[in-house]
């Protein structure tokens, strides 16, 4: 059962529209990247998906149920949202206690809790840091703590808001393998990102937004082939994809590994 946004509108507190007539769906195990300029309505859209925001008009349903009828706490069990700034999310004094906070709050049995925490620790590479205060760790590791805390829950949809900002090569590698792993578990991953190389390496579908509306929604190859969409959403092709385009090489390939074979 999917997340469905049907003709959704939402206004900022000062009354200016943040998103207008947005319709899209996210299916089980899908990997969807939402792209567009700062202020395009990306964060509002994902906050509507997990019920942090309720629409002014239109409907948001998750697994067939309207988010309007469910509390934020209930929704957080289904659609996990990892904040852009990990410090908006992390609040306890050790990595271990941060990861255990939710299961303890929900009074999970110890076995279930330990199993879920161990899985999150392994997926996020946090083995070395369990006793450390998150504030003493660099931002890249704090980002994985924030992701880990969400993964402890049994969400079937995970939203990652700007996960690659500030990550280095090993961090990106870990993030990509984490996303691959979630797909094998049938968990859908939705990301907001400005990193187009990340989009084309790890995601199947792109939703391009501009001015609070969806201007394109489709497979990466299709969306990145459309100059008009790129212009309207003010986004770029990944560097090497733009290079082959500049050279007039006829291909819609986007990933570096594929492009290598297209260059004469």
Q: Applying CB under 8 A, which residues contact other proteins? A: 36-39, 43, 84-85, 87, 138-141, 162, 165-171, 194, 196-197, 234-236, 238-240, 242-243, 246-247, 256-257, 259-261, 263-264
CA dihedral 247, 252, 254, 259 (to 10 degrees): -60
- Smallest separation, CB 147 to other proteins (Å): 15
Nearer to other proteins, 15 or 264 (CB): 264
Nearer to other proteins, 102 or 240 (CB): 240
Answer positive or negative: Cα dihedral of 152, 127, 190, 101.
Answer: positive
Q: What contacts 141, CB < 8 A, 6 or more positions away?
A: 126, 129
- Nearest CA to 34 among 215, 190, 175? 190
Nearer to other proteins, 170 or 219 (CB): 170
- Smallest separation, CB 97 to other proteins (Å): 20
Give dist(CA 81, CA 151) in Å, integer.
10
- Smallest separation, CB 249 to other proteins (Å): 9
According to DSSP, residue 89 is labeled: T
- Smallest separation, CB 195 to other proteins (Å): 9
- Nearest CA to 155 among 83, 82, 69, 54? 82
Nearer to other proteins, 104 or 236 (CB): 236
């Amino acid at each position: 059962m999917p997340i469905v946004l049907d003709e959704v509108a939402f206004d900022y507190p000062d009354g200016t529209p943040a998103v207008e007539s947005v319709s899209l769906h996210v299916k089980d195990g899908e990997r969807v990247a939402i792209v567009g300029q700062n202020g395009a309505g990306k964060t509002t859209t994902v906050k509507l998906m997990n019920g942090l925001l309720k629409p002014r008009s239109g409907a948001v349903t998750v697994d067939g149920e309207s988010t309007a009828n469910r509390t934020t706490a209930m929704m957080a069990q289904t659609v996990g949202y990892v904040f852009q700034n990990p410090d908006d999310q992390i609040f306890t004094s050790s990595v271990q206690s941060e990861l255990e906070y939710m299961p303890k709050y929900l009074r999970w049995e110890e076995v279930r809790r330990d199993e879920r925490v161990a899985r999150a620790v392994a997926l996020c590479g946090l083995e070395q840091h369990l006793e450390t205060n998150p504030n003493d760790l660099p931002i890249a590791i704090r980002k994985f703590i924030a992701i880990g805390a969400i993964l402890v829950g049994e969400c079937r949809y995970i939203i990652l808001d700007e996960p690659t900002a500030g990550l280095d090569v090993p961090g990106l590698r870990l993030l990509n393998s984490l996303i691959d792993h979630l797909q094998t578990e049938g968990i859908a991953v939705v990301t907001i990102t400005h990193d187009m190389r990340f989009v084309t390496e790890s995601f199947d579908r792109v939703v391009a937004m501009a001015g609070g509306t969806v201007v394109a929604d489709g497979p990466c190859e299709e969306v990145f082939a459309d100059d008009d969409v790129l212009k309207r959403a003010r986004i770029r092709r990944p560097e090497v994809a733009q290079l082959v385009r500049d050279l007039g090489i006829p291909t819609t390939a986007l990933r570096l590994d594929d492009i290598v074979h297209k260059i004469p």
